[in-house]
Amino acid sequence: MSKRFEDIMNVVGKIVPVVSIVVAVIALWVSHQAFQKQLDQSKQQLDQSMTVAKAQVKPYLTFYASNIGGEDEFVLKNAGPGTAVIKKVTLFKNGEETHELNLGRLFNAKSSKEYASTLYTFAPPQPIMSGAQVVLIELSEGELKHQGFSAKQIAEIVKTFQEEARKISIEIEYEDVLRNPQDKLKSTLEINP
């Protein structure tokens, strides 16, 4: 029996290391699969976090025009939750690109240049905070009246101003604070009479 016991022990002695290696390889494979699954979940959570972060800093620039109480305005507003950084501004007159950033220089009529309360000059890169607005052009009938113009003169100044504004369009390229480019914004400086 002792010979037989020795033979069994000899076989067991050869099998145990092989079985140990097989078990170790299986354990390593299972561990790798669990790690890969955890890595995939972490990557998915990171992607979701980045999506949320981008949404929280996403600016949304928009134009609006108004004529309330004799105030003609064309305004740029950031209606998004994040700061917009204006990278490039292109002004067009009569559909042709200019190399100008000062809106005042695009108006020909003396009345438009001299009587407008505001004619904005862009200076990229330029941040516009969430909720902020920039009055690009403004003409105040009340201010013109205060300067001594008659109702007829004011009507002519306003008409000329609005006609000239319609010939000007603006294109703005901007990004969020994480430097993600946003959709270009383009509009004519249309002020409704």
- Would the pTM count as exceeding 0.85? no
The confidence score (pLDDT) of residue 111 equals 52
In a domain, 193, yes or no: no
Split into its structural domains, the chain has a count of: 2
Same-domain status, 45 and 81:
no
| Max CA distance (Å), the chain | 129
Q: Is 16 left (phi over 0), alpha (psi -120 to 50) or beta?
A: alpha
Give, for all 193 residues of the chain, the pLDDT tens digit.
687 877 777 777 788 788 888 888 888 898 889 889 888 888 888 888 777 776 678 999 999 888 777 788 889 999 999 999 999 999 999 999 998 888 877 877 565 556 667 778 888 889 999 999 998 888 888 888 888 889 898 888 888 888 888 888 999 999 999 899 999 999 888 765 5
Output the six-digit token pair for 43. 């990557």
Same-domain status, 118 and 178:
yes
Residue finishing a domain among 14, 29, 57: 57
Same-domain status, 123 and 175:
yes
What is the extent of the structural domain holding 71? 59-188
Same-domain status, 43 and 78:
no
**Residue 1 to residue 74: CA distance in whole angstroms:** 106
Same-domain status, 44 and 88:
no
Output the six-digit token pair for 87. 């990278």
Same-domain status, 86 and 104:
yes
Same-domain status, 129 and 184:
yes
In a domain, 69, yes or no: yes
- Count helices and strands in the chain by DSSP H and E runs: 4, 9
Same-domain status, 52 and 85:
no
